[in-house]
């Protein structure tokens, strides 16, 4: 598997015109670049608005940092008691095992923290301290493995992590967030699937997919290997301008996910990551998209549209709301999927 990592390689393979190489070099000096062959092959080099290229090919607009953007947009650092752990909510923690990804998304909310210049994984000492933290906090019910992409680690290392989590009685659920099934589907081997499955507690896998074209035949097979092993699959999608911000694309994506046995879970509003303004939509546009999706697709295809509140205050669902008016009287006004309003008794 070839991965393109430099502006020169992107030019050589026709993904960036040679006159833009110097400008793209400035971007790649600032933010990590990796484009694996499996995703590169999906790009139509003749389409200046190709949705796959827009997600993964660096753009000079990334050097335009807006005042409202933050290096740590969702406030991980404010909730990190020990290296590798983010403890924002009482019943769950993030365990950031690595800062490496198979592909670097141009809108990444952790773009200041991920990249090949960072350590591949937590050091053995940091991992011991992270497990000690989880062990000593009895309210932690769920551990979410994230990064970077945790499935970049070898099955041997993942097996060791899962074994340690299996031994902690109060941890009942492990969730893994990954883009690997679409970025490098061949890495989701049966060995890796076995490594992440714990007999004593459920492992959920949340797969990051933003455009239906990413669900290629090999990607679907990788998801099937996980689902066939009894691992429940969830989706996480980032709303990206020019990629999936139309009802047609979002409808196709959500249906394709469900067809792959992936329950649609989160649609993330774009975070205020530096240099990503050109990839963000406004909240009203996201709400309108959700409203249109509700009107045309099965309930299985309805993710929750969420925003991570800057500063580390967590996720909130951001609508749209279908209760359009709640007066002081006994009736609420509820809107149906066609936009028609109905009265409903408040109690
Ligand atoms: S896979 Fe996730 S962590 Fe890695 S670059 Fe993309 S959004 Fe960021």
Q: Report the C-alpha dihedral over residues 338, 341, 346, 347, rounded to 10 degrees.
A: -60
Residues 88-115 have a mean pLDDT of 95
pLDDT in tens, 268-305: 999 999 999 999 999 999 999 999 999 899 999 999 99
For residue 148 and ligand 1, the question of a CB distance below 6 A is answered with yes
For residue 179 and ligand 1, the question of a CB distance below 6 A is answered with yes
- Which of the residues 101, 223, 260, 301 is marked catalytic? 101
Residues 20-42 have a mean pLDDT of 96
Confidence class for position 347, pLDDT limits 50, 70, 90: confident
- Which of the residues 92, 135, 255, 294 is marked catalytic? 92
For residue 105 and ligand 1, the question of a CB distance below 6 A is answered with yes
| Burial call 315-346: b when 16+ CB within 10 Å, e when fewer | beebebebeeeeeeeeebebbeeeeeeeeeee
Q: What span, in angstroms and rounded, lies between the C-alpha atoms of 244 and 145?
A: 26
DSSP string, 227-257: HHTT--EEEEEE--TTTT-SHHHHHHHHHHH
pLDDT at 233 exceeding the cut of 90: yes
Q: Does residue 275 contact residue 232 with C-beta atoms inside 8 Å?
A: no
Question: Could you identify the atom of ligand 1 that is nearest to the CA of residue 104?
Answer: 5
Confidence class for position 214, pLDDT limits 50, 70, 90: very high
For residue 94 and ligand 1, the question of a CB distance below 6 A is answered with no
Best residue among 146, 179, 236, 269 to mutate for probing ligand 1, ranked by most atoms within 8 Å of CB: 179
pLDDT at 15 exceeding the cut of 70: yes
Confidence class for position 42, pLDDT limits 50, 70, 90: very high
- Which of the residues 89, 135, 263, 291 is marked catalytic? 89
pTM value is 0.95
Active site residue 347: no
How far, in Å, is the centroid of ligand 1 from the Cα of 205?
15
180 three-state secondary structure: helix
pLDDT at 320 exceeding the cut of 80: yes
Residues 151-158 have a mean pLDDT of 96
The residue to which tokens 């993942």 are assigned: 158
For residue 34 and ligand 1, the question of a CB distance below 6 A is answered with no
Active site residue 308: yes
pLDDT at 120 exceeding the cut of 90: no
Higher pLDDT, 111 or 327: 111
- Of 197, 218, 212, 304, the residue nearest 259 (C-alpha): 212
Report strand pairing: 173-178 vs 203-208: parallel
Average pLDDT, the chain: 95
How far, in Å, is the centroid of ligand 1 from the Cα of 322?
32
Q: Which two tokens stand for residue 130?
A: 């992270």
Q: Does residue 151 contact residue 159 with C-beta atoms inside 8 Å?
A: no
Active site residue 194: no
How far, in Å, is the centroid of ligand 1 from the Cα of 326?
40
User: Residues 188, 156, 266, 66: is their CA dihedral positive or negative?
Assistant: negative
Q: What span, in angstroms and rounded, lies between the C-alpha atoms of 59 and 242?
A: 13
Active site residue 260: no
Q: Does residue 96 contact residue 148 with C-beta atoms inside 8 Å?
A: yes
Residue nearest to atom 6 of ligand 1 (CA): 105
pLDDT in tens, 162-205: 999 999 999 999 999 999 999 999 999 999 999 999 888 999 99
- Which of the residues 108, 223, 260, 301 is marked catalytic? 108
């Amino acid at each position: 598997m070839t991965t393109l990592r430099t502006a020169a390689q992107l030019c050589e393979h026709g993904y960036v015109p040679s006159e833009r190489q110097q400008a793209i070099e400035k971007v790649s000096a600032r933010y990590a670049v990796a484009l694996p062959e499996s995703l590169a092959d999906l790009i139509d080099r003749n389409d200046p608005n190709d949705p796959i290229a827009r997600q993964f090919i660096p753009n000079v607009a990334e050097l335009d940092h807006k005042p409202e953007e933050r290096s740590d947009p969702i406030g991980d650092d404010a909730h990190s008691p020990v290296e590798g752990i983010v403890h924002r909510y009482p019943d769950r923690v993030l365990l950031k095992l690595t800062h490496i990804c198979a592909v670097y998304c141009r809108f990444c909310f952790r773009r200041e923290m991920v990249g090949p210049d960072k350590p591949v994984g937590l050091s053995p000492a940091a991992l011991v301290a992270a497990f000690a933290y989880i062990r000593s906090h009895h309210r932690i019910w769920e551990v979410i493995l994230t990064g970077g992409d945790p499935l970049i680690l070898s099955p041997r290392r993942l097996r060791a992590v899962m074994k340690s989590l299996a031994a902690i009685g109060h941890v009942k659920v492990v969730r893994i967030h990954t883009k690997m099934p679409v970025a490098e589907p061949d890495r989701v081997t049966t060995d890796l699937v076995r490594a992440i499955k714990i007999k004593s507690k459920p492992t959920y896998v949340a797969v990051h997919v933003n455009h239906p074209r990413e669900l290629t035949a090999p990607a679907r097979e990788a998801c099937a290997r996980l689902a066939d092993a009894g691992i429940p699959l969830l989706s996480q999608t980032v709303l990206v301008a020019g990629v999936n911000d139309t009802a047609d694309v979002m409808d196709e994506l959500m249906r394709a996910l469900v067809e792959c046995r992936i329950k649609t879970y989160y649609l993330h509003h774009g975070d205020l990551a530096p240099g990503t303004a050109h990839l963000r939509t406004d909240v009203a546009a996201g709400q309108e998209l959700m409203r249109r999706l509700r009107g045309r697709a099965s309930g299985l295809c309805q993710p929750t549209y969420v925003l991570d509140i800057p500063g580390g205050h967590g996720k909130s669902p951001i609508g749209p709301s279908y209760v359009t008016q709640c007066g002081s009287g006994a009736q609420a006004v509820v809107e149906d999927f066609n936009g028609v309003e109905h009265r409903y008794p408040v109690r």
